Structure 1
Amino acid sequence: MTAPPTVEIVGGVEVPTGLFIGGQWIPGERTLDVRDPAADRRLSGVADAGVTDALDAVSAAHAAFGPWASAALRTRAEILRRAFEIMTAELDECARLIVLENGKSWADARGEAAYAAEFFRWFSEEACRVPGDFRMAPAGDKTIVVDHRPVGVAYLITPWNFPAAMATRKLAPALAAGCTAVLKPAGETPLTALWVARVLQRAGVPDGVVNVIATSRPGPVSELVLADRRVGALSFTGSTPVGKILLGQTARRALPSSMELGGNAPLLVLEGADVQDAVAGAMVAKMRNGGSACTAANRFYVHESLVTEFADAFEKALSTLSIGSGLDPANDLGALVSVRERDKVLDLVRRAEQEGGRPSASGTAPTTGAFLSPYVVRGVRHGQTLTREEIFGPVAPIVTVDSTDQAIAMANDTDYGLISYVFAKDRAEGISVARRLESAMVAVNRGVASDPAAPFGGMKESGLGREGGFAGIHEFLETQYIAVDL
């Protein structure tokens, strides 16, 4: 295949389409097609990195590491702040790209763009605020000095469901810490990541500090990068099975790794909860990003006294959603990322029906493209397919429970522990239940918890480490203790 141009106009947005290595946009020898899932057509093409390109990116990042790590903290902070300002001024461009290659609704895409920009602002502030320690040892024989230093070249792997936010949530803390980066975005959504890299370039990031390689061969490329002794850390967001493969590879070098993996988020509607508040929260927890989120409510445990009222009201609310292209701001629900992904979700609905569930579709989806009407599935029993599989789409299985204890037991009966949602009669009960849930994040009487200023991550097989908040920058820092007699 012929090499792609390094810049292309996609949907009215100027996007670099080459490999970004050492501050240069390189055409590459092969092309990776990017598809528009709403129209089910080819949208564009970007340079498709091979293993040689990946090693070139590592070399560029390694060469840039020394000067970047020694740069004044304020210098790094101001570059990230400029990136925030550029993104904020161009949110509509970013949102348009997200819609075109990911399929989500305009509201979701613009919300993601704003959320993504916020990571640049948050970590521009955190760059100058990493605390150390200076104190006398209890024995009185030395002074304990604790400092932090960047780990080196960070390899960052991001998924397709939040192509802007997942890139900035990793790039911002890595750069704030003084690391350089090689970013490998998902093959389905590389355009947004390349656009973000151009924002950083415009903000003044020195050549080689940020490198971006899209590839159709993620397995061989990642294995080679992780084996390279110049790489100091891995940050991965994606499925648990892939995360385990990568952990096996990083174990060979004892490479520091942070993992944001799969979820199976329970949403509990407890006895005495306000049903309308629960439905409003469920609409956000389930339908944000069309359900294609690791934080999406995956299984609903509703008290028997409320289950019929909740299911009816939830289904009614879903039926009001307008389904269609995200380029039309009037549409509430866009397409899934691909027809293949849509068919995977539909297969889960069919399996639920075979197990005795009663699925009911709300609204009418377009017949062309990767669109899917939202489903409420009643009569699901805990332990069936929809309570075990991460759905990643607009499907809500409802399980009836007879007590709070039963709801908590079922919620905890999973290998995952990313986020849970609790709707209770009051905050006190909600917090009490939250503390019994095996979940790293809990939203009480609300449908969203994510915030750049809060630690994001999971327990159990949902991940290792934290992104965002005060903890996020520490994933890219090594702690160094110096003993000195003062």
Structure 2
Amino acid sequence: MSEISETGVVNAVTKELFIGGKWTSAAGGKTFPVLDPSNGGLLCEVADASPADGKAALDAAVAAQPGFAAMPPRERGEILRRAYELLLARNEELALLMTLEMGKPLAEARGEVAYAAEFFRWFAEEAVRIDGGYAVAPNGSGRFLVTKQPVGPTLLITPWNFPMAMGGRKIGPAIAAGCTTVIKPAEQTPLSMLALAGILAEAGLPDGVLNVVTTSDAGGVMEPLIRDGRARKLSFTGSTAVGRTLLEQCAEKVLRTSMELGGNAPFLVFDDADLDAAIDGAMQAKMRNIGEACTAANRFYVQRGVYDEFARRLTERMSALVMGRGTEDGVTVGPLIDPAAVEKVSGLVLDATERGAKVLTGGVAVEGPGNFYPATVLTDVPLNAKMASEEIFGPVAPISVFDTEDEAVAAANNTEYGLVSYLYTNDVKRALRVSERLEAGMIGLNQGIVSNPAAPFGGIKQSGLGREGGTVGIDEFLEIKYIAVSL
């Protein structure tokens, strides 16, 4: 248990809207509650923005755009670098705040704060590397100049499962590119974003560059901003269903979009895999963030020769995990985000067992208070179980058997999603062969975590559009301009 006061870290956060560099109450003084998922208790109330508040935030972003676009890249980078240092200096307080509103164990929350900070460090360095081009026209009569400019005011929508890292992953490249923003954090976890806004202001970010609207009416506040036309880009992380709706709305004004949507990650283990490494990777890929991650391993396919041993060893590891409030010492499985999440996981497990799956550990929701579901392992999960096609978003590992490589690849690709796939084998030819055949934007080859600020994060099929992070992450916030020069 941290020695930092829980009440103190919550009270330290300003719970108003952040618009034009000023903290302000929502229209009519409306607020909504933020709850502790470990016990259902009230943490605090935060400002509940109206559509008028959202418009004021966009007005501020639009007004600030010309001046911010003209700021030298080095100065933008130095703001991000200062924010990086402030995040690291306040890791303990920010981690505790995140655990209180989201539920993940403190150790994971500390890791997320550091991960969020790394996006600021990475894009601080990328800000000064925005390049262009110069070329001779093929007929020699002119020259081609190519430059990159900020896309303009940007709308950002972040999820509850990584409330600070997803903010860093979007805000970092936007600032580096010279784009002003309006960001709407998830209703369940607004405090991490409000704290992040305060840090960026302290780091010297000009007024109006970052505007934060917390609201219980996401559609009512954000849809008018999308349809307004002055914002020129939307970056969204969340469910595929919501992403489809937002894409339809963006079509009216032809907004640039980045979409990081749902996942249904397969985890393949071949007979020749290093089982020690595969079990470690399985625990990382499944249990990071209590399984509440789009990159979480959702389906385990294990070759028959190691199937029983893999299931036995994974069950030993999963059953040894300690469930409880994320602030408590030794806890490795915190609560899910809300009662609906527990209900969904319970329903998927029930469906699988009714279709013949066997429960090796866990499998039954824990009575409240709190939104707890134990670490669970299922074997003999049929391919027609609902969890084979739906994101579990919880601490459940369903294991199915396969015999041939073709069978494994077919099962892995049998989904509308394509975010990440995991693959364990010691055969280098198979590793490359299967990696190329798997339909996913990212491959975890003999490792259970793929996320890295220096790498391009994103999926194919209905897992999204565009990439975040890496050298291409800043391009999502830049427009290419070609200037034809006659000689």
SS at match of 1:325: coil
Code of the aligned partner of 1:25: W
Within-5 A mapping of 1:330-479: 330-362=330-362, 367-479=368-480
Code of the aligned partner of 1:72: P
CA contact (8 A) 1:271 1:424 kept: yes
C-alpha distance in 2 between matches for 1:467 and 1:105: 26
Code of the aligned partner of 2:97: L
Task: Tell me by how many angstroms 1:427 deviates.
Answer: 4.1
C-alpha distance in 1 between matches for 2:315 and 2:367: 19
Look up the match of 2:264.
Answer: 264
Within-5 A mapping of 1:269-348: 269-348=269-348
Within-5 A mapping of 1:112-191: 112-191=112-191
SS at match of 2:98: helix
Look up the match of 1:232.
Answer: 232
CA contact (8 A) 2:161 2:293 kept: yes
C-alpha distance in 2 between matches for 1:320 and 1:129: 47
C-alpha distance in 1 between matches for 2:38 and 2:339: 9
Gaps of 5+ in 1: 1-7
C-alpha distance in 2 between matches for 1:129 and 1:104: 36
CA contact (8 A) 1:9 1:15 kept: no
Look up the match of 1:69.
Answer: 69
C-alpha distance in 1 between matches for 2:116 and 2:11: 18
Code of the aligned partner of 1:16: T
Look up the match of 2:14.
Answer: 16
SS at match of 1:469: coil
Q: Structure 1 residues 147, 9: closer, same or farther in 2, change over 3 A?
A: farther
Percent identity, aligned pairs only? Answer: 49
CA contact (8 A) 1:322 1:363 kept: no
Q: Deviations over 1:76-106 (max 9, x none)?
A: 0000000000001011111111100000111
Look up the match of 2:250.
Answer: 250
CA contact (8 A) 2:352 2:382 kept: no
Task: Tell me by how many angstroms 1:366 deviates.
Answer: 7.3
Task: Tell me by how many angstroms 1:425 deviates.
Answer: 2.1
CA contact (8 A) 1:13 1:97 kept: no
Task: Tell me by how many angstroms 1:113 deviates.
Answer: 0.7
SS at match of 2:128: coil
Task: Tell me by how many angstroms 1:11 deviates.
Answer: 4.2
Code of the aligned partner of 2:226: L
Q: Structure 1 residues 35, 10: closer, same or farther in 2, change over 3 A?
A: farther
Q: Deviations over 1:315-373 (max 9, x none)?
A: 00011111111112421111111122112111111111111111233499674211110
SS at match of 1:231: coil
Code of the aligned partner of 1:36: D
Aligned residue pairs: how many?
479
CA contact (8 A) 1:315 1:362 kept: no
TM-score by length of structure 1 reads: 0.96
CA contact (8 A) 2:156 2:236 kept: yes
CA contact (8 A) 1:10 1:43 kept: no
Task: Tell me by how many angstroms 1:202 deviates.
Answer: 0.4
C-alpha distance in 2 between matches for 1:287 and 1:430: 24
CA contact (8 A) 2:363 2:376 kept: no
C-alpha distance in 1 between matches for 2:200 and 2:256: 25
C-alpha distance in 1 between matches for 2:316 and 2:363: 10
Q: Structure 1 residues 178, 11: closer, same or farther in 2, change over 3 A?
A: closer
CA contact (8 A) 2:10 2:44 kept: no
Q: Deviations over 1:97-129 (max 9, x none)?
A: 110000011111111110001000000000000
C-alpha distance in 2 between matches for 1:426 and 1:450: 24
Within-5 A mapping of 1:188-199: 188-199=188-199
Task: Tell me by how many angstroms 1:383 deviates.
Answer: 3.0
Look up the match of 2:205.
Answer: 205
SS at match of 1:435: helix
CA contact (8 A) 2:10 2:97 kept: no
CA contact (8 A) 2:10 2:43 kept: no
Look up the match of 2:40.
Answer: 40
C-alpha distance in 2 between matches for 1:382 and 1:354: 13
Look up the match of 2:3.
Answer: none
Q: Structure 1 residues 107, 265: closer, same or farther in 2, change over 3 A?
A: same
CA contact (8 A) 2:145 2:483 kept: yes
C-alpha distance in 1 between matches for 2:281 and 2:222: 38
CA contact (8 A) 1:13 1:93 kept: no
SS at match of 1:15: coil
Instruction: Note the aligned Cα RMSD (angstroms).
Output: 1.4
Task: Tell me by how many angstroms 1:60 deviates.
Answer: 0.4
CA contact (8 A) 2:351 2:385 kept: no
C-alpha distance in 2 between matches for 1:309 and 1:456: 33
C-alpha distance in 1 between matches for 2:161 and 2:480: 33
Task: Tell me by how many angstroms 1:197 deviates.
Answer: 0.5
Gaps of 5+ in 2: 1-5
Look up the match of 1:31.
Answer: 31
Q: Deviations over 1:43-97 (max 9, x none)?
A: 1111000100000000000111111000011110000000000001011111111
